[in-house]
Amino acid sequence: MMKLRHKNKKPSKGSKGCKKVSWSHHQPAKQNGKKAASRVASAPQFVHSNDRANWDTELKKKREEVLQELNMFPQLDDESTRKAYYKEFRKVVEYSDVILEVLDARDPLGCRCFQMEEAVLRAEGNKKLVLVLNKIDLVPKEVVEKWLDYLRNELPAVAFKASTQHQVKNLSRRSVSVEQASESLLKSKACFGAENLMRVLGNYCRLGEVRTHIRVGVVGLPNVGKSSLINSLKRSRACSVGAVPGVTKFMQEVYLDKFIRLLDAPGIVPGPNSEVGTILRNCIHVQKLGDPVTPVETILQRCNLEEISNYYGVSGFQTTEHFLTAVAHRLGKKKKGGIYSQEQAAKAVLADWVSGKISFYTLPPATHTLPAHLSAEIVKEMTEVFDIEDTEQANEDTMECLATGESDELLGDVDPREMEIKWLHSPMMKIADAMENKTTVYKIGDLTGYCTNPNRHQMGWAKRNVDHRPRNDSTVDVCPVDRRPMLQRIMETDPLQQGQALASALKNKKKMQKRTDKLASKLSDTMMSVLDLSGNADDSAGD
Ligand SMILES: Nc1nc2c(ncn2[C@@H]2O[C@H](COP(=O)(O)OP(=O)(O)OP(=O)(O)O)[C@@H](O)[C@H]2O)c(=O)[nH]1
């Protein structure tokens, strides 16, 4: 969600006499117990504060960067671009076994493309579809849950938050260590849900007895985060990412590992039926819009007015025009003759919308009806082929991790060998383990180590160890619980599952560290109380 940088300023109560059409009736009737209309004032009030100046400069700079970038890319509503992109999309479908349709969690239905889904389901080769609900960090958890509940009636859906690290750096290497990184840094930039998505693809390989590799096409509207998702899975900068639509222009193939190849596609641009909808879904370049004011009107209908007032430091507006004049004033957007420019302000607001700075979200419809292109058989087939029950619990875990800032992408920062050595040499760990007596003792060469036995959920690979290499028989191996060293087991396991296994190992490590710390403080408390007791004893002896 958008972070508010300034405290709420209550707008003054004002007149109701504005003649222009007001959008305030589109807002929820009450916010913070007051009618939205009661916040409306006759004239814009500007927030004046010194610390605002720096923020304004920063905001202006960023907005100019976005607008500059916007100018560098083609007009996506242009017919020839649309056709060229569609051709690329067809190629992706043709080459893929599984299609991931990336949706923006803020408006999943709005960016879902039924024609595209139909094309996938009709294509030769029995292709499978998975919905990826991306940008879950921009939406309250309850809303994500509601959408997952809704979407699972149709297709497998995976909750995801792509890494949004500074894209120039290799995503897998952070300049701060996991321990040093603040929770907010981890929360804001790390990836969540990669483990689950890999699990879903792994399930498909396992249940479909895939012998070589699969191709996974990543499709969706422009700017929904397709490239960010691929980069997060790849943990390196495989594809270019940008806060503007149309960064990806051609199909690109990315080797995730031996068994999975990802295909990045340019965004699908919907037809020209609803221009406002298309703009708001980031499919049209803001800078080139003839009428930027109408989409801002729609934004104001969808957003929380209080948040938007605080974001721009303006309040007391009653109409879109009123709001835009106030924003133009704040941002210093003037036309010739010194008149504040509503158009320029509207483009600035739209640039903020496109780059996700203005928060909003939609709720799923109250009742569910199956879209015409999906039948009960298709839903059943998709559910089975991806082992969806497994995924639903994992979606819960993803959201739990997002809430606590515990990302599966953190693995990228940890060298497994380093992890092993730290792990093996921690004396406190031995005490903790010995005390709790729930661990396996193991040896690598001269080193002795301890690890907790993985549970079923943490170590899916221990339950069923699938060999994906071509073989004569097609049975799935079921292994007994493996008691060899953790890392050795991980390295020997199916590469598709290694990320997941390492994630679990890292989680275990963290848990053990917590336990160790707890134990250490317990020990120190005990020692302190022993010392206190001796002190008391001395005192009493003295008495
Ligand atoms: N907050 C947040 N931002 C995201 C997330 N995923 C992507 N973004 C941002 O959304 C913008 C678009 O991301 P891209 O990965 O370029 O989107 P795309 O779908 O590949 O875009 P095209 O190449 O235009 O089709 C970038 O500014 C990303 O940083 C996410 O999970 N959370």
Per-residue pLDDT reduced to its tens digit, 60-119: 676 666 555 444 444 445 666 666 667 777 888 888 899 999 999 988 988 888 888 998
User: Average pLDDT, stretch 216-223?
Assistant: 84
Please name the residue whose Cα sits nearest to atom 30 of ligand 1.
135
Report how far residue 373's alpha carbon sits from residue 103's, in angstroms, rounded to the nearest whole number: 18
Say which range, 176-190, 428-442, 527-541, has the weakest mean pLDDT. Answer: 428-442
User: Average pLDDT, stretch 111-133?
Assistant: 89
Identity of the amino acid at 235: R
How do residues 399-413 score in pLDDT, each as one tens digit? 888 877 665 543 443
Report how far residue 130's alpha carbon sits from residue 203's, in angstroms, rounded to the nearest whole number: 12
The response to whether residue 138 sits with its C-beta less than 6 Å from ligand 1 reads: yes
Reported ipTM exceeds the 0.85 cut: yes
Q: Scanning the structure block, which residue is given the tokens 């109250």?
A: 366
Report how far residue 266's alpha carbon sits from residue 273's, in angstroms, rounded to the nearest whole number: 20
pLDDT at 158: 93
pLDDT at 159: 93
Which candidate, 329, 317, 327, places its Cα nearest to that of 15?
A: 317
pLDDT at 488: 64
Most confident of the following: 124-138, 218-232, 286-300, 464-478: 124-138
Distance 135 CA to ligand 1 centre (A): 8
The response to whether residue 242 sits with its C-beta less than 6 Å from ligand 1 reads: yes
Q: For residue 258, is pLDDT > 90?
A: no
- Where would I find the H helices in 451-542? 460-463, 486-492, 495-542
Most confident of the following: 10-24, 139-153, 350-364: 139-153
pLDDT at 87: 73
The response to whether residue 278 sits with its C-beta less than 6 Å from ligand 1 reads: no
pLDDT category at 175 given cuts 50, 70, 90 is: very low
The response to whether residue 318 sits with its C-beta less than 6 Å from ligand 1 reads: no
Q: For residue 480, is pLDDT > 70?
A: no
The response to whether residue 193 sits with its C-beta less than 6 Å from ligand 1 reads: no
- By most ligand atoms within 8 Å of CB, the mutation choice from 85, 160, 197, 241 for ligand 1 is 241
pLDDT at 224: 85
Distance 19 CA to ligand 1 centre (A): 40
The response to whether residue 407 sits with its C-beta less than 6 Å from ligand 1 reads: no
Say which range, 113-122, 142-151, 313-322, 395-404, has the weakest mean pLDDT. Answer: 395-404
End-to-end, the C-alpha distance of the chain in Å comes to: 64
Give the atom of ligand 1 at the shortest distance from the alpha carbon of 135: 31
pLDDT at 100: 93
Say which range, 2-16, 209-223, 244-258, 499-513, has the weakest mean pLDDT. Answer: 2-16
pLDDT-above-70 percentage for the chain: 50
The response to whether residue 449 sits with its C-beta less than 6 Å from ligand 1 reads: no
The response to whether residue 222 sits with its C-beta less than 6 Å from ligand 1 reads: yes
- By most ligand atoms within 8 Å of CB, the mutation choice from 223, 232, 286, 407 for ligand 1 is 223
pLDDT category at 377 given cuts 50, 70, 90 is: very high
Residues 6+ apart with CB under 8 A from 530: none
Distance 213 CA to ligand 1 centre (A): 27
Distance 223 CA to ligand 1 centre (A): 5
Say which range, 119-128, 405-414, 429-438, has the weakest mean pLDDT. Answer: 429-438
Q: For residue 329, is pLDDT > 60?
A: yes
Please name the residue whose Cα sits nearest to atom 6 of ligand 1.
225
pLDDT at 481: 44
Q: For residue 272, is pLDDT > 70?
A: no
Distance 107 CA to ligand 1 centre (A): 14
Residues 6+ apart with CB under 8 A from 245: 73, 76, 222, 223, 267, 282, 283, 284, 285, 354
Give the atom of ligand 1 at the shortest distance from the alpha carbon of 265: 25
Please name the residue whose Cα sits nearest to atom 2 of ligand 1.
135
Please give the class, per CATH, of domain 79-272+373-409: alpha beta
pLDDT at 133: 95
Distance 243 CA to ligand 1 centre (A): 6
Distance 163 CA to ligand 1 centre (A): 9
How do residues 493-522 score in pLDDT, each as one tens digit? 655 556 666 667 777 777 667 766 776 777
The ranges of the chain annotated as CATH 3.40.50.300 are 79-272+373-409
The response to whether residue 232 sits with its C-beta less than 6 Å from ligand 1 reads: no
Q: For residue 342, is pLDDT > 60?
A: yes
Give the atom of ligand 1 at the shortest distance from the alpha carbon of 160: 31
Q: Scanning the structure block, which residue is given the tokens 């051609």?
A: 250
Give the atom of ligand 1 at the shortest distance from the alpha carbon of 266: 25
Q: Scanning the structure block, which residue is given the tokens 């082992």?
A: 387
Distance 276 CA to ligand 1 centre (A): 20
397 vs 437 pLDDT, higher one: 397
What number of residues does the chain have? 543
- By most ligand atoms within 8 Å of CB, the mutation choice from 103, 228, 229 for ligand 1 is 228
Q: For residues 162 and 228, is the Cβ–Cβ distance under 8 A?
A: yes
What integer best gives the mean pLDDT of the chain? 66
Which candidate, 306, 314, 316, 310, places its Cα nearest to that of 43?
A: 316
The response to whether residue 134 sits with its C-beta less than 6 Å from ligand 1 reads: yes
Distance 93 CA to ligand 1 centre (A): 21
pLDDT at 179: 41
